[in-house]
């Protein structure tokens, strides 16, 4: 039986610094955008401000999740609070959906009664927001890869960057033509973009919480590959899941030949899983054929049919 995993703590600190810097940027601009939206009468600005508020919540939640997930494990919580990052990502996805629903509702109301909008000031505020969101997106893009929690924060900021572009377009139309319907129309477009960005944030955390196999790992292939290791006769009771982003885990029951060294065969399979699939946290029970009745799906060496 083996348990091993490696996390780059320096990378974790870098992620936290990136989130803190972006939170300061978006938090400051959110206040500017709310004031600007109220003074100009622009729903597009207020919609963008609402999404910015969800950004701040998402980033603050991500920071809290990083802090919580770094707490040491205990006998009763053997993985500590690693799943806090996944719960934060799921909460962020739900928050994005809620913001989108509010934008659609408010846009529908304004289509029937479009208020006067100060297009020039609306554009000025939106341009500042564009620069803020570009800066935030660049900072988070460097850290988002491979971490669902960081990717959740990045998708929030990216959606808000697109929202700023939409506000600028709406302001331009209003300044040039005076057509105030551009404001709720662009808001609906922003809402659609925001809603689309929530899909991955809802799908991946749910898959992890349901302990599905990681999307980049084919469980059947892994089972057959394990069964094809020298001396191994079959593998069954195979489970592959994700503890948190970048932390896959595997458990299985392996049957080997009667004259095989169980410990040596286990080490061989562990090495293969680590090198070929990047799975470093494994729990393998190894028995000789006939010592233990197989149960669950059976995986046989490549070339033989699995049952």
Both 16 and 119 in a single domain? yes
Using CB atoms within 10 A of its CB, is residue 179 exposed (0-12), middle (13-18) or buried (19+)? Answer: middle
Both 34 and 164 in a single domain? yes
Both 244 and 115 in a single domain? no
Whether residue 1 is predicted with pLDDT greater than 50 in this model: the reply is no
Asked if residue 304 belongs to a domain, the reply is: no
pLDDT in tens, 164-190: 888 888 888 888 888 888 888 887 887
Whether residue 162 is predicted with pLDDT greater than 60 in this model: the reply is yes
Both 165 and 269 in a single domain? no
Q: In this predicted structure, what is the pLDDT of residue 11? A: 57
Q: In this predicted structure, what is the pLDDT of residue 4? A: 41
Domain count, the chain: 2
Both 17 and 151 in a single domain? yes
Asked if residue 305 belongs to a domain, the reply is: no
Write the DSSP assignment of 207-244 as a string of letters. Answer: HHHTTPPPTT--HHHHHHHHHTSTTEEEEEEEEEEEEE
Report the distance separating Cα 161 and Cα 241, nearest Å: 34
Instruction: Name which of 132, 147, 203 is nearest 16 in CA terms.
Output: 147
CATH of the domain at 121: 1.20.1510.10
Per the model's pLDDT, the better-predicted residue between 235 and 92 turns out to be 235
Indicate the helix (H) or strand (E) that contains 181. Answer: none
pLDDT in tens, 7-47: 445 556 777 788 888 888 888 888 888 888 888 887 777 77
Q: Choose one of 185, 209, 233: the last residue of a domain.
A: 209
Asked if residue 201 belongs to a domain, the reply is: yes
Both 149 and 13 in a single domain? yes
Asked if residue 3 belongs to a domain, the reply is: no
Q: What is the DSSP letter of 146?
A: T
| Helix axes 9-40 and 43-69, enclosed angle (nearest 10) | 160
Both 31 and 149 in a single domain? yes
Query: Any alpha helices (H) in the chain, and if so which ranges?
Result: 9-40, 43-69, 84-112, 119-144, 148-177, 182-196, 198-209, 219-227, 262-277
Q: Choose one of 187, 209, 231: the last residue of a domain.
A: 209
Asked if residue 95 belongs to a domain, the reply is: yes
Contact 289, 231 (CB under 8 A): no
Q: Choose one of 188, 209, 230: the last residue of a domain.
A: 209
Both 81 and 223 in a single domain? no
Both 185 and 53 in a single domain? yes
- Estimate to the nearest angstrom the gap between the alpha carbon of 123 and the chain centroid: 32
Supply the range of the domain harboring residue 266. Answer: 219-299
Instruction: Name which of 214, 302, 213, 225 is nearest 270 in CA terms.
Output: 225
- Estimate to the nearest angstrom the gap between the alpha carbon of 97 and the chain centroid: 15
- Most confident range, picked from 113-122, 154-163, 280-289: 280-289
End-to-end CA separation in angstroms for the chain: 25
Asked if residue 140 belongs to a domain, the reply is: yes
Whether residue 144 is predicted with pLDDT greater than 80 in this model: the reply is no
Q: In this predicted structure, what is the pLDDT of residue 2? A: 43
pTM over 0.85: no
Asked if residue 4 belongs to a domain, the reply is: no
Instruction: Name which of 271, 265, 305 is nearest 285 in CA terms.
Output: 265
Both 286 and 224 in a single domain? yes
Both 240 and 263 in a single domain? yes
Only one residue has tokens 């070339």, namely: 303
CATH of the domain at 283: 3.30.70.1350
Per the model's pLDDT, the better-predicted residue between 253 and 12 turns out to be 253
Only one residue has tokens 């928050």, namely: 95
Both 281 and 193 in a single domain? no
Q: In this predicted structure, what is the pLDDT of residue 6? A: 43
């Amino acid at each position: 039986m083996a348990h091993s995993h490696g996390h780059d703590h320096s990378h974790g600190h870098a992620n936290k610094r990136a989130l803190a810097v972006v939170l300061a940027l978006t938090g400051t601009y959110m206040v500017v955008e709310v004031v600007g939206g109220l003074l100009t009468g622009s729903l597009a600005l207020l919609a963008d401000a609402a999404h910015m508020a969800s950004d701040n919540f998402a980033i603050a939640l991500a920071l809290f999740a990083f802090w919580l997930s770094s707490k040491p494990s205990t006998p009763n919580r053997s993985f500590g609070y690693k799943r806090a990052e996944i719960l934060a990502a799921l909460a962020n996805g739900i928050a994005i959906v809620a913001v989108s629903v509010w934008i659609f509702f408010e846009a529908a109301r304004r289509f029937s009664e479009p208020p006067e909008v100060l297009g020039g000031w609306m554009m000025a505020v939106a341009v500042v927001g564009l620069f803020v969101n570009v800066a935030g997106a660049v900072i988070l893009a460097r850290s988002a890869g491979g971490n669902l929690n960081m990717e959740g924060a990045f998708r929030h900021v990216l959606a808000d960057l697109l929202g700023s572009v939409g506000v600028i377009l709406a302001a331009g139309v209003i300044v040039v033509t005076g057509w105030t319907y551009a404001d709720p129309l662009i808001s609906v477009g922003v809402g659609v973009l925001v809603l689309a960005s929530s899909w991955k944030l809802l799908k991946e955390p749910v898959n992890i919480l349901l302990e599905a196999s990681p999307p980049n790992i084919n469980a059947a292939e892994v089972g057959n590959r394990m069964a094809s290791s020298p001396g191994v006769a079959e593998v069954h009771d195979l489970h592959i899941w994700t503890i948190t982003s970048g932390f896959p885990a595997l458990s299985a029951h392996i049957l080997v030949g009667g004259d095989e060294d169980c410990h040596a065969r286990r080490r061989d399979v562990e090495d293969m899983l680590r090198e070929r699939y990047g799975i470093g946290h494994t729990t393998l029970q190894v028995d000789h054929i006939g010592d233990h009745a197989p149960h669950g799906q059976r995986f046989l060496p490549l070339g033989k049919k699995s049952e």
